[in-house]
Amino acid sequence: MLAIPEKIQLNLFEIIGEEDNSGGGLTENTQTMIKIMLKTGMSPKVISALLELTGLRKEHKQYFGAPIISSASLWHDAIPYWLKLAIYQERLEIICNEHSRHELGVWAGYPEAVAVLMTASLESPLQYDWVEVYTWVGREVSIKYNGKSKDDFKGVCDKDELSNYEKDKLNRLLADIRRKVIKSHY
């Protein structure tokens, strides 16, 4: 069990109580504190409960607190811890950005696409175009969240960006994941 020092607890509740200019309680300080708690290993369920105290839309809170989606439930436990953490970090980033723009998005983040494609690849071989999407998005997520560099992927994924066809496939997958994540919360 993660023990939160008393000083941080007091600061957290002082920060959550602040109002921002948009009328919600999700200030920059609140976002920073929640990101730190997530990175230090606090349960996403606890953070989801804290988000109830903010001015987030119901859909944003549901998206953050929903379980991680995988393509095959038998392989769900194969998702590495760093990727699970990345999924919740990305969800938090997405909902904070959407909240600041007063909108509700339709796409999940790249880490969720990696989890879905990883578990799908463990169940059966992926088609070539999905392999291209998986290696590219996996590289991007590994660079952002797992301390890797582009050099670590030389010979595996050398392309700088996806083709329009591959981008379209990825965007449809991200939209499908977001819908399923929200649906799984009900």
Give domain limits for the chain: 1-55, 69-184
Q: Name residue, tokens 């119901």.
A: 58
Residues 6+ apart with CB under 8 A from 124: none
Q: Are 46 and 91 in contact (CB under 8 A)?
A: no
Amino acid at 144: K
Structure-block tokens of residue 181: 């994540």
Only one residue has tokens 């007063």, namely 102
User: For each of the chain's 186 residues, which pLDDT tens digit applies?
Assistant: 455 555 444 454 454 444 444 445 677 888 888 889 988 989 888 888 888 888 788 889 889 989 999 887 788 899 999 999 999 999 999 999 998 899 999 999 999 999 999 999 999 999 999 999 999 999 999 999 999 999 999 888 888 999 999 999 999 999 999 999 988 765
**Residue 32 burial (10 A CB sphere; 0-12, 13-18, 19+):** exposed
